Amino acid sequence: MMRNMERRQQRRVPVQLQGFLLGNSHEVEAVTLDLSVGGAKFDCDLEVYPGKVIRVRLVVPGAEEPVSIEEGLVQWVRDDAFGVSFQNVRRAELDEIEQLINEFEEAEDGGHA
């Protein structure tokens, strides 16, 4: 009997962050509808299609610089929302996203660890 070695599903939290997406020659404002270390769902009127690669910058409260993801791969598009998976993310960016998710979950739990 083979064991399923699939990685556990990434925690996805319904956090709204301001973001900037660069798809063509100009950057467009966006808002995350949910976020995980592996990607995000955005509300944005940027013209995208599945397979398009965009640059993502997320404004994290308390951080000096936006979290920058050079390669965001559009997975699906529905109305004004679309899903993006983060590719080749630097460790520092991953850590910031993970910390944000942890803080969000702690706040949702009323601060209980």
Please write the tens of the pLDDT for every residue from 84-104. Answer: 999 999 999 999 999 999 999
Please write the tens of the pLDDT for every residue from 14-24. Answer: 999 999 999 98
Which residue segments constitute the domains of the chain, with CATH numbers given? 18-108 (2.40.10.220)
Please write the tens of the pLDDT for every residue from 39-51. Answer: 999 999 889 999 9
Would you say how long the chain is, in residues? 113
